[in-house]
Chains A and B, each alone.
Chain A
Amino acid sequence: MSKQRSFNVTDLPGFTTIAILAFLALYAPILTLVVYSFNDASSITVWGGFSLRWYEIAWQNTAVKEATLRSLIIATSASVIATTVATLAALGTTRTAPFKGQTAIYAMINQPLMVPEIVTAVALLIFFGIIKKATDYLGLGYLIAAHAAFCVPFAYLPIRARLEGMDLSLETAAADLYANRWMTLRRITLPLLAPGIAAGAMLAFVISLDDVVITEFVKTGGQETLPTYMLGQMRRAISPEVNAISTGLLALTVLLLTAFFLLTRRRD
């Protein structure tokens, strides 16, 4: 009965074909990359039998190891900073009475999502160049600061979504029972918000982990991250070593995104 009245997109002609084609377009290239990472030959298009040798080569490559470690340090620091800032920003924009210019604040927080990455990269290159010359400090701090900045909106969005979906009556009840604001925040709001914060942190981590453009412009001597190292390898013949590294990076991303999904899933 209801079948006749409601519109169901899956009933449209060609739905299955289009869906399959779309998934193929999305996943076939990635699948090819993963398959050829197990290639025994040193080509990324000619199959020469199954082997794990490119994983072994990548694993023994000190440049890869150093770049991986550096990527992890940057992503961890940047996501911690970005998530802290994003949590404060989310509380400030949802747990207050609507104020003038709120939309402008949203736009400003989400600015890194809108501004082309290359613009930010060039701006940072010039800006950090001045600081570097003035202070002589050339450490990882610049990369961490840059990554933290563009990771904020990625952490902010899931946290704000969680805050907006949370039942306000619990916080009101806490206030009724003479909890002061700080106690309400610590005992009620933050525990309820935890999954949102964790999800935001993981998203920020993944975004920082695979950034190329800004990193390429901000990095100084010896600050190759995994993605910029891989980009450097592309100039001449590409070997399945790059496939192996990509597959590793992909596995890590999928793992984190799965965790993100599980955390944000509503418990029914």
Chain B
Amino acid sequence: MKKLLLATTLCLTSVQMAAADGSLNLFNWGNYTSPELLAKFEAETGIKVTVTDYDSNDTALAKIEAGGHGFDLVVPSHNYIPIFAEKGLISELDLTKLPNHGNIAPEWVDVPWDAGRKFTVPWQWGSTGVAVNTSVYGGDVNTSAVFLDVPDELKGKINVVPEMNDVVNLAIMYVGGEPCTEDTAVLKKARDVLLAAKPNWISMDYGATEKMSNNDWASSVNWNGSTMRIRLANPDVVYGYPREGYPLFMDSVALLSDAKNVDQAYQFLDFIMVPENAAMISAYARYANGIAGSDAFMPDDMKTAPEVVTPAEHKAAGRFLPTCSPKAQEYLAAIWTELMK
């Protein structure tokens, strides 16, 4: 009987979800939303949050553009926010309904993709750098030379993640160019550096969290949150911030133009800007948030983690990759295709 009831409710809830009766539909990356955060939100407001996963910005964009999706909030990466905004898929926030808006750390307010934070609220951010096992290589790790001019100790032991934008732009910055450049001389240099380095790579694959924890790889181009988890399992591993420039990314929450549960969505947006709650988001997915004062509530192993708390001397080299022009995108893809051959 209980099962039957549950089955019926499952069928019915999906129908009724559209009605604003204390529910909220969050469309977010898989394994990215802290269940404790949602439980706390429900306890405080009585609003039940249903999370649905996506696995890429493109999937999320396609589903929302098709319409009739039933979601209220979405969490795209920074370079997708302008696309969502230009297409009119997300709506400008009414800041009077967000008293905690002032909690956004000053450095995260006037961001290039959303000046003044009129459309989005920070969720989590991180960087792409190099993870290096110092028992194998003791040299300088804060440079892209680790994978672009591979030191002898790391030859045949270094992995590069198959992320076009991250990898090619790291190479462009390494040769002194700007991310998403259209300057063919710079692009040519970047391509040559990549092609010359590739024979020294063991693979171009995901899974550094596993493979560096068990010493299959001695180094990898990798994300900061993942590198922190590797270090906790394998203390020899450090995270390098390439001084030539390294990509930053930030996923932010936006309110969809056709959201049905608008009031509930505002309550949620305001809720996640409370420092204590923002810290819960970080504690779950292991990336930094953008809320001032949340550090105090972070788990101890994150408070001092050099991967999460960017050391001051490395801050300046971090760059948010812009939304590349179609032409620049074409160049990137051409280099990438040649590299993957």
Query: Which residues of A are at the interface with B, using a C-beta cutoff of 8 A?
Result: 43-46, 63, 66, 69-70, 73, 122, 125-126, 128-133, 136-140, 216-217, 219-224, 228-229, 231-238
CA distance A214 to B18 in the complex (A): 23
Given A138-B68, A139-B11, A237-B229, the answer on whether A216 and B17 have CB atoms closer than 8 Å is no
Q: Is the CB of B30 within 8 A of A43?
A: no
**Minimal beta-carbon separation of B166 from chain A (angstroms):** 15
Partner of B55, one of A69, A138, A235: A235
Residues 11-38 of chain B: 1 if any A CB is under 8 Å from the residue's CB, otherwise 0?
A: 1111101100000010101111001000
Q: Which residues of B contact A133 (CB under 8 A)?
A: 67-68
If A69-B10, A140-B10 are given as contacts, then 12 extra A-B residue pairs at C-beta distance below 8 Å, sorted by A number, are: A125-B66, A126-B66, A130-B67, A139-B11, A221-B52, A222-B51, A222-B52, A229-B53, A232-B30, A236-B32, A236-B226, A237-B210
Q: Is the CB of A43 within 8 A of B25?
A: no
Report which residue of A122, A217, A237 has the largest number of chain B beta carbons within 10 angstroms of its beta carbon: A237
Q: Is the CB of B63 within 8 A of A45?
A: no
Q: Is the CB of A69 within 8 A of B6?
A: yes
Q: Which residues of B contact A235 (CB under 8 A)?
A: 29-32, 55
**Minimal beta-carbon separation of B54 from chain A (angstroms):** 8
Counting residue pairs across A and B whose Cβ atoms lie within 8 Å, the total is 123
B69 lies within 8 A of chain A by Cβ:
yes
Given A126-B66, A129-B67, A221-B14, the answer on whether A236 and B213 have CB atoms closer than 8 Å is no
Q: Is the CB of A129 within 8 A of B66?
A: yes
Q: Is the CB of A234 within 8 A of B30?
A: yes
Q: Is the CB of B25 within 8 A of A221?
A: yes
Partner of B213, one of A46, A122, A125: A46
Q: Is the CB of A232 within 8 A of B55?
A: yes
Q: Which residues of B contact A126 (CB under 8 A)?
A: 66
CA distance A139 to B18 in the complex (A): 10
Q: Is the CB of B52 within 8 A of A131?
A: no
B247 lies within 8 A of chain A by Cβ:
no
CA distance A37 to B67 in the complex (A): 39
Q: Is the CB of A233 within 8 A of B30?
A: yes
Smallest CB-CB separation from B55: which chain A residue?
A231
**Minimal beta-carbon separation of A260 from chain B (angstroms):** 25
Given A136-B18, A216-B55, A221-B52, the answer on whether A70 and B10 have CB atoms closer than 8 Å is yes
Residues 33-77 of chain B: 1 if any A CB is under 8 Å from the residue's CB, otherwise 0?
A: 001000000000000001111110001001100111111000000
B111 lies within 8 A of chain A by Cβ:
no
CA distance A10 to B31 in the complex (A): 49
Q: Is the CB of B25 within 8 A of A222?
A: yes
CA distance A221 to B264 in the complex (A): 15
Can you name 18 A-B residue pairings with CB atoms under 8 Å?
A: A43-B213, A43-B214, A43-B233, A45-B210, A70-B10, A125-B66, A128-B68, A132-B70, A138-B17, A220-B70, A222-B13, A224-B52, A231-B30, A231-B55, A232-B53, A232-B54, A233-B30, A237-B226
Given A73-B10, A221-B25, the answer on whether A236 and B55 have CB atoms closer than 8 Å is no
CA distance A131 to B209 in the complex (A): 43
**Minimal beta-carbon separation of A8 from chain B (angstroms):** 42
Q: Is the CB of B17 within 8 A of A43?
A: no
Q: Which residues of B contact A45 (CB under 8 A)?
A: 210-211, 214, 216
CA distance A66 to B174 in the complex (A): 48
Smallest CB-CB separation from B214: which chain A residue?
A46
Q: Is the CB of B69 within 8 A of A221?
A: yes
CA distance A228 to B30 in the complex (A): 9
Given A137-B15, A222-B14, the answer on whether A233 and B31 have CB atoms closer than 8 Å is yes
Q: Is the CB of B210 within 8 A of A220?
A: no
Q: Is the CB of A237 within 8 A of B209?
A: yes
Q: Is the CB of A43 within 8 A of B7?
A: no
Q: Is the CB of A138 within 8 A of B15?
A: yes
Smallest CB-CB separation from B26: which chain A residue?
A221
